Amino acid sequence: MFNIVFAALAVVLLVIWERRERRRGAVRDLFCPWGLLDVLLALAALIVLLGIAGTTAKALLPDESHPWRGAAATGIAGVVTCVFLLYHLRRRYGLLPRDVGLRFDTWGRDALLAGGLVLLVIAVESALAPVFVHLYEAEGEPVRLQHLVTQMQAGQSPTVLIVLIAFAVLVAPFWEEFLFRGVLQPFLGRHVGATLSILIPGVLFALIHYEEGSRFFREPILVFPLALALGYAYHRTQRLAAPLMLHMLHNSVTVLAVLADRPAG
């Protein structure tokens, strides 16, 4: 029932947004002066920084179960990669942050689009989730949740919980959207067309959410509808505001659901 309600609300918001966009009559040209070497540089920087941050976190927090470790390492590596890439694009091409989509002058319209898409994504996810519950039950296994979700559900201190929430709602959406939608999608759009420029980053985005030991490819499949919505939001606006707000809204809803399911006390 809730799936139908969410989907109906999503359609209403998206129709309103579409009509407003048509009245504006704006035609957006694809803007992407960077090339393959710049994309590869971003990937190499992310991999190196993930390794450095992971090694440092492991040295400072040797306990593998420590909830700070993975979130801190990934978050720091992602943000530093974005800062490095912004510097690189500024030095090589003279680009400002707003030139690569980091502008929020039309945040009202972008928020409307993000709100409609997040309702649609939640409706799809809610329809898919019971399928995996059935698959796990058929195998006689409990559903394996993401590590970050498990950490949030555990009885962590308020400080640790705040750090985990900040990573999920603010840090991860920022660096993921900047790299996947702000850098990779425009580059692909210039070379392989709009459809593949949404699909390829979407598949990669879903794959990085796979967790070792998870069954039935659960996380990537559940994340893929969100990935498509994020790519669509960027494609239609050529700005990062809409996908960034969509990502933050989606993760906020997920966090609220996790916190509501935490054991009392």
Can you give the pTM of this predicted structure?
Answer: 0.91
**Residue 249, in any domain of the structure:** yes
Q: How many CB atoms lie within 10 A of CB 66?
A: 16
Q: Quote the domain boundaries for residue 148.
A: 31-113+139-260
In a domain, residue 13? The reply is no
For the segment 151-163, what is each residue's pLDDT rounded down to a tens digit?
777 766 777 788 8
Q: Which residues contact 207 (CB under 8 A, 6 or more apart)?
A: 220
Identify whether 192 is part of a domain: yes
Q: Nearest CA to 258 among 127, 131, 168?
A: 168
Asked if the structure places residue 149 within a domain, the reply is yes
Domain count, the chain: 1
For the chain, list residues with pLDDT below 50.
27
- C-beta separation of 55 from 133 below 8 A: no
Q: Tell me the per-residue pLDDT of 168-183, one tens digit each, with 9 for 90 and over.
A: 999 999 999 999 999 9
Classify residue 92: in a domain, yes or no: yes
Q: Which H or E run includes 81?
A: helix 67-93
Contact between 85 and 175 under an 8 Å Cβ cutoff? The reply is no
In a domain, 126, yes or no: no
